[in-house]
Amino acid sequence: MDELNYCHDVNECEGSNPCQHQCYNIMGSFICQCEQGYELASNQASCQDIDECAFSSYMCQWQCVNQPGGYVCACPEGYQLQGNRMCQDIDECETGNNCREDEMCWNYFGGFRCYPRNPCHEPYVKTGEGRCSCQSTTMCRGLPPSIVYKYMSISSERSVPADIFQIQATSVYPNMHNTFRVKSGNEGGEFFLRRSSNVSAMLVMTKPLTGPREHVVDLEMVTHNNVLNYRSSSLLRLTIIVGPYAF
């Protein structure tokens, strides 16, 4: 009886692995496979890193950093990573700042500012939180009797039109008529003051603002009564801090 000759498959994956990552033996040959985040090179054995950051500009809210086998998202200074891709503002006024005792810390998107706790200058004196009043009739002639200081933060390139701040009369008297206007700080036409009622108005942003920058806008309310020939004005000095990014 003649001996039968059998052919045995050679397991190429044993011994010296011909693949850079994983080797799978098949009848008469073998297949290489790469780990997650890598793809086979043209030689069908080597593995090259996939640049996930090249797929889309929306992988991360701010910056995508490619790494071997994957990627990580990075955030700019003043922000911390929230989850895997979003950036959250760090409140430096809570976590630590270098404002002095006579200053207050104001957090904005991407940073913080130190402002004086007493913003009043002569002939004005502080009569409340952020409120300055003029006590002298002679020295205050032609000046608003009171100035109120307020601060707000917005992100860069915010969509417009946007209602951003409401000004409201604190005292209401019968037969008094109030008018509102942007007295200064609107040279570029970025704002519009829309009268909501006899006692309130809404500041509307009409042009997107690009940060980082600071806008100081004076909003004036004039109170008058034609019968009594009475006229008075008050000023709200609004500081708008625009962050450096759109988040």
Structure confidence by residue, pLDDT tens digits, 85-116:
999 999 999 998 899 999 999 999 999 999 99
Same structural domain, 84 and 120: no
pLDDT of residue 236: 97
Shared domain check, 142 and 111: yes
Residue 3's pLDDT band, with cuts at 50, 70 and 90, is low
Q: What is the pLDDT of residue 131?
A: 95
> How much is the pLDDT for 119?
97
Structure tokens at 100: 């002095």
- Provide the number of structural domains found in the chain: 2
- Establish if 106 belongs to a structural domain: yes
pLDDT at 176: 86
pLDDT for position 140: 86
In a domain, 3, yes or no: no
pLDDT of residue 229: 79
210 in a structural domain: yes
pLDDT band with cut points at 50, 70 and 90 for residue 4: low
Radius of gyration of the chain (CA): 33
Residue 193 placed within a domain: yes
pLDDT of residue 156: 96
Shared domain for 169 and 66, answered yes or no, is: no
- Residue of 7 and 36 predicted with greater confidence: 36
Answer whether residue 58 is part of any domain.
yes
Together in a domain, 67 and 108:
no
List pLDDT tens digits, range 52-87. Answer: 999 999 999 999 999 999 999 999 999 999 999 999
In a domain, 65, yes or no: yes
What is the arithmetic mean of pLDDT over 162-177?
Answer: 88
The rounded distance, in Å, linking the Cα atoms of 162 and 40 is: 51
pLDDT at 226: 76
pLDDT of residue 202 exceeding 60, the answer is yes
More confident residue, 188 or 226: 188
My answer on whether 110 and 76 are in the same domain is: no
| 206 and 114 within one domain | yes
Residues 164 and 64 in one domain: no
Indicate the residue among 68, 89, 110 that finishes a domain: 89
Share of the chain above pLDDT 70, in %: 98
User: Residue type at 130?
Assistant: G
In a domain, 5, yes or no: no
Domain boundary among 36, 68, 89: 89
pLDDT of residue 169: 87
Q: What is the mean pLDDT of the chain?
A: 93
Residue 136 confidence class, pLDDT cut points 50, 70, 90: confident
For residue 237, give the CATH number of its domain: 2.60.40.60
What integer pLDDT is reported at residue 2 of this predicted model? Answer: 53
133 and 74 inside one domain: no
142 — pLDDT class (breaks 50, 70, 90): confident
Residue 22 lies inside a defined structural domain of this protein: no
Q: Report the share of the chain in percent with pLDDT over 90.
A: 82
End-to-end CA distance of the chain, in Å? 85
**118 and 66 belong to one structural domain:** no
Residues of the domain holding 175: 97-242
Whether residue 127 is found in the same domain as residue 161: yes
**Are 81 and 126 found together in one domain?**
no
Model confidence at 171, in pLDDT bands (50, 70, 90)? confident
Residue that terminates a domain, selected from 39, 66, 89: 89
The answer to whether residues 155 and 72 belong to one domain is no
Angstrom distance (rounded) from CA 4 to CA 1: 9
